[in-house]
Structure 1
Amino acid sequence: MKENTREFEYTQADFDILRKISNQHSGILVPDDKFDMFYSRLAKRLRLLGLGSFKEYCQYLTENPADEFTEFINAVTTNLTSFFRENHHFEYLNKTVVPELLKKKAAVRQVKIWSAGCSTGEEPYSLAMALKESLPAGWELKILATDLDTNVLAAAADGVYSADRVAGIGEQRLKRWFQRGSGRQANKVRVKPELRAAVTFRQLNLMREWPMRGRFDAIFCRNVLIYFDRATKTMLVERYARLLESGGYLFIGHSESLHQLDTAFEPIGNTIYRKSTK
């Protein structure tokens, strides 16, 4: 898109300021090819605020961080997800991880999973479905789901999805875990209370202090590391390792790898890693 056809004046200098602010807050690297994406995502904010240019928006953001910063981060954060995305991870969880946990944690009968970068909730709800279907009665399931974006967290906690978003879930699972809407909500479904009760949604910036103190049996951090530089990836993976039980699992995205990073994990295959028991 040529600059003279844009609704708002937008320059490379504006983009550089905005991506620097984003990086300083979130650690996410914003490449040059996100220039147009930043414009399209933030133009709505300029209209709403009655601003005439991105230069004005940069100034407004700098001078009014308490009012605008969350809106800015929500706008430029990418949230692409789906139910049972990369299904081989859920199959491995049920076929390998759960049998191990049934032996390892027979005394406490509790499984704890963290979905880091949970977006609109499809991943943690998929985890809850898979685990509730495989854990015996009497076992407690606790899933922590975190994200930087407060808007997607609100949608996730509500648990309402359009029918096309759950089209890939089998009919049996739909009946067991979702309530179908009626009337004006006929094209929507809602996660049943039993499933929602297993998931706790919280806002979290991975670059800041983490309040969690207990250890997890597995961490899903998929399609998150891809946005960071090598040093930041190493730092995050080290922090994940400290929060995992010995022998705990880290699941990352299909386009990600811990290759060439010095970590406490051994590769299992299919972007699954296990914390060393040594």
Structure 2
Amino acid sequence: MSTSASQQADLDPASFRAIADLAYRESGLTLVQEKSSMIQSRLRHRLRDLGLADFAAYCSLVQSDAGQGERRNLISALTTNVSHFFRESHHFDVLRAELDRHLPKLRAGGQLRIWSAGCSNGQEALSAAMTLLDHVPDVARLDLRILATDIDPEVVQFARKATYPERLVRGISPDMLKKYFDQTTEAGHEPSYIAKPVLTDVIRVNELNLLSPWPMRKRFDIIFCRNVVIYFDQRTQEKLWPSFLNALAPDGVLLLGHSERIAEPERYGFTCTGPTTYRPCHALKSTARPEKQKQSEG
């Protein structure tokens, strides 16, 4: 098949439905018909790379056992990865306050665990690390770890490199940029900045689908899950809230994006303590257990 043929391939209604259903099953993404032109544009390069003539052939592949690897590429193409450093700055005020609260425990040999769920290109995890180090410079010598995860393997690789072109470091103050990044220039590319080991040594970046089983065994003191669940429908969100509650330490905090909310948070064992800031609500959680057990016994 010629390149021009793949570039002219149109996303027919049946293929749109097949792709939308698969994206929902695999990742919880909700795709609406109005986005079909965007989906068509983002996936045409996959047809070209695979030498497929049309979207019907592409759907046949991704729905087959042989298409498991391509399903990851499909989700990667459809996922929006927009982020920047120190996005929604009020959450970093919360982070500083949480560090103050946990510092005595940390200095006594305890742990502080943070999860950046849906980390995109890694700016959120690095912003958290800079915030903590700037607030308490010796915190990196304590038992601090930040886990950054994303469903998109391409952005996971980007985040692991922790190298950002000049246009992506906006939001970092000149002092912080000098303190925590080294400037580097790759041949033929714009000046870039690579995070220093003092940041990257406390961050681990892994691929993770939020709809798959979570392998983490230890609970987190702080979870960032910002501008992620906005792409999920209400049913998928309702499945995730109990999982986040179980992943939080008893006195932990969950931070959502500016346009995200937990509807009826008490229903899921949370209480809202600030703008898009949620903590476990243990009294309500414990009273809900007998009712849940009674329902399961019935």
Identify the TM-score tier after normalising by the shorter chain.
over 0.9
Q: Which residue of 2 aligns with 1:36?
A: 37
User: Does 2:92 align with 1:90?
Assistant: yes
Contact kept, 8 Å, 1:218 with 1:249, in 2: the verdict is yes
Q: CA deviation at 1:9?
A: 2.9
Q: Which residue of 2 aligns with 1:157?
A: 160
TM-score (norm. length: structure 2): 0.86
Q: CA deviation at 1:272?
A: 0.9
Partners of 1:186 and 1:65 in 2: how far apart? 36
Partners of 1:169 and 1:26 in 2: how far apart? 32
Write out aligned runs for 1:121-270 (5 A): 121-135=122-136, 137=138, 138-182=141-185, 184=187, 187-261=191-265, 262-270=267-275
3-state SS of the aligned residue for 2:57?
A: helix
Contact kept, 8 Å, 2:106 with 2:143, in 1: the verdict is no
Q: CA deviation at 1:34?
A: 1.8
Contact kept, 8 Å, 1:132 with 1:141, in 2: the verdict is no
What number of residue pairs does the alignment pair up?
272
Q: Which residue of 2 aligns with 1:3?
A: none
User: Does 2:247 align with 1:271?
Assistant: no
Contact kept, 8 Å, 1:181 with 1:189, in 2: the verdict is yes
3-state SS of the aligned residue for 2:18?
A: helix
3-state SS of the aligned residue for 1:248?
A: strand
In terms of mean alpha carbon deviation, does 80-89 or 55-64 score higher?
55-64
Identity of aligned residues (%): 38
Residue type matched to 1:131 in 2? L
Partners of 1:277 and 1:103 in 2: how far apart? 24
Write out aligned runs for 1:55-70 (5 A): 55-63=56-64, 64-70=66-72
Contact kept, 8 Å, 2:183 with 2:193, in 1: the verdict is yes
Contact kept, 8 Å, 2:84 with 2:171, in 1: the verdict is no
Q: Which residue of 1 aligns with 2:295?
A: none
Contact kept, 8 Å, 1:180 with 1:186, in 2: the verdict is no
* Higher helix residue share: 2
* 1:185-213 CA distance string (max 9 Å, x none): 66111111221111101111111111001
Write out aligned runs for 1:18-37 (5 A): 18-37=19-38
Rate the CA distance shift 1:136–1:162 in 2: closer, same or farther, 3 A: closer
3-state SS of the aligned residue for 1:217?
A: strand
* 1:73-111 CA distance string (max 9 Å, x none): 1111111111111111112211x2111112454433421
Q: Which residue of 1 aligns with 2:286?
A: none
Contact kept, 8 Å, 2:15 with 2:56, in 1: the verdict is yes
3-state SS of the aligned residue for 2:144?
A: strand
Q: Which residue of 2 aligns with 1:72?
A: 74
